[in-house]
Structure 1
């Protein structure tokens, strides 16, 4: 019986495929300059589109401001495509400045999300052409729901504009792209007029920096508007001893107060701040051999300590602590009573240092 012959077929060799994106040749100096000049022209076109809006603001803008400012419900922002993305940012800006706002996607709206809209709401509808089908077909529903519509559009004669209660017309804007089609200058204008409306509403409503802080508790913005009373140690965490107390009592308070602060406020009979005693003060006493813990705290405390009020910005208090190189800052009210203690450890945790 013949033996089966061993296959002598060779495996196919793998060929390297050409790179789909071969490296481009280094552009010449003239090409680089031409690119930069074109990029500058895009910026100029968008800047001119925004500047052109200044002459378009008038009674319609004031009416739109009144509708949003006096809205008993929420401001519903809607749009699709690039205008929709601008609308999402506008809704976020309104919400961050105290105006209740949601974004409504036009396609989802006709499949049930219209339930987000109620009587008393105001609609901000964004469309440069004003003929976006998904948006225009929502107009009858908005009318039935009793929600006035403010149109932000580039065509005051468009279906969207005709069906709106107020029109903010940005005008016909030439796009800053080689084909004249990609939304660029028009979206810059929609963005800008949306910001103008949001900021004008913010200016027309009572809205304090404290309220802004409540809506921005995190990050740099939150830290820039936080007040001392929001970060200070108060109540059971506020270390306090009478000026008639012994040094040993002050050490016990510093040790047993929640959070173990590195200092204690010293107050008189009325609770007014008269001094402060710190861990550093205690170490210096021990270094000098002054270990009589029966001494009155008033003899060893720091007198006339620098202090702040509870409404002072934490940034200002931090600057004061840096300037005078202290780790604790007493907090006093209008009557001079010790209502809290600002500790460097809390500032570190909140990223002020």
Structure 2
């Protein structure tokens, strides 16, 4: 074991200093400038371009990613690349969010003039309200000059933590304001564990609007049911509807096998109403896939009709549809 002493009390002071600094941002969030930035993000018809140098740039990448995943189009842009041709990535309907604690990072300052020439909105998260970046921004969110938690007082720590917290506050307040919901979030996160939990039945079922569904009517015979659904892409089950098109029950392939074993050739003359499972379980399109999986498990079934608000079939979901996206019920 090394005899080098580890100063745990110093580690605690780092957490304390950063936490206190983040709480100090509450006054900034209450200022009208914060709400104005959120409204600009909401009204932006382009993208929010986030730029910062060094550690601020790394924080900017995370802020941009959070914006993009919560409903606000966003990209990050390295300021050095920007002044070497990548300014062409910025459109006139974009907004630039620049991060710099000092407000004097040369690479960031060099962006000001070309942005102003093109009348592109410039918002900054900055420490020094008298800095060139703050003075020339359309809106400056000034955190104040913060003392870093580093033993030397120089390594970005408190300042970058505050930038990140303020960026999260902007992104998530914008998200809440635009009523970005669970289904929207899942659409942007189809491969992630969080997204899979939020995927709806409507996003997982095979059938799409106007596609032929495996459907029969109460008075149809089994022979008529089979003929009607000969070309449907899935025949593991058929949904049975009444004269008004409302779901009355379901007939599975297992139901047909049992009926054949009992009645033989007479099976084909039996009415669907006599074979079906009445009042079967069903789900809506906005039901979470995880909830549908719970129904599959609880009732030991393989097929679930999907119905609209009137109780009419709009799709059919198989347990394998949900297994394929690795939903755990």
User: Does the pair score TM above 0.5?
Assistant: yes
| Alignment CA distance shift 1:290-1:43 (3 Å) | farther
Give yes or no for the alignment of 1:345 onto 2:320.
yes
Deviation at 1:320, TM superposition (A): 2.2
Contact kept in structure 1, 2:260 and 2:267, CA below 8 Å: no
Report the counterpart of residue 238 of structure 1 in structure 2.
Answer: 213
Structure 2 residue ranges without an equivalent (≥5): none
Report the counterpart of residue 42 of structure 1 in structure 2.
Answer: 14
> Which has more radius of gyration?
1
Give yes or no for the alignment of 1:182 onto 2:155.
yes
Q: 2:281 aligns with which of 292, 300, 306?
A: 306
Normalised by the size of structure 1, how large is the TM-score?
Answer: 0.83
Alpha-carbon distance in 2 for matches of 1:267, 1:67: 50
User: Which of 145-154 and 189-198 deviates more?
Assistant: 145-154
Q: Deviations over 1:39-94 (max 9, x none)?
A: 33322222122111112221221222222222233222111111011111111211
Alpha-carbon distance in 1 for matches of 2:33, 2:189: 31
Give yes or no for the alignment of 1:280 onto 2:235.
no
| Alignment CA distance shift 1:76-1:249 (3 Å) | same
Alpha-carbon distance in 2 for matches of 1:265, 1:279: 12
Report the counterpart of residue 296 of structure 1 in structure 2.
Answer: 271
Report the counterpart of residue 74 of structure 2 in structure 1.
Answer: 101
Alpha-carbon distance in 2 for matches of 1:143, 1:62: 22
Q: 2:27 aligns with which of 50, 55, 63?
A: 55
Contact kept in structure 2, 1:237 and 1:257, CA below 8 Å: yes
Alpha-carbon distance in 1 for matches of 2:27, 2:95: 25
Q: Deviations over 1:105-158 (max 9, x none)?
A: 111111111112232322110011111001111111111110121110111111
Give yes or no for the alignment of 1:167 onto 2:140.
yes
| Alignment CA distance shift 1:253-1:85 (3 Å) | farther
Alpha-carbon distance in 1 for matches of 2:177, 2:285: 28
Alpha-carbon distance in 2 for matches of 1:130, 1:261: 65
Q: Deviations over 1:174-210 (max 9, x none)?
A: 2222222211121110000011111122222243433
Alpha-carbon distance in 1 for matches of 2:10, 2:254: 63
Corresponding residue pairs, total: 323
Q: Deviations over 1:280-325 (max 9, x none)?
A: 33344456x3433122222121111011122222222222222222
Structure 1 residues 69-80: aligned runs within 5 Å: 69-80=42-53
Normalised by the size of structure 2, how large is the TM-score?
Answer: 0.89
Alpha-carbon distance in 2 for matches of 1:159, 1:172: 14
Q: Is the partner of 1:157 in helix, strand or coil?
A: coil
Q: Is the partner of 2:124 in helix, strand or coil?
A: strand
| Alignment CA distance shift 1:219-1:252 (3 Å) | farther
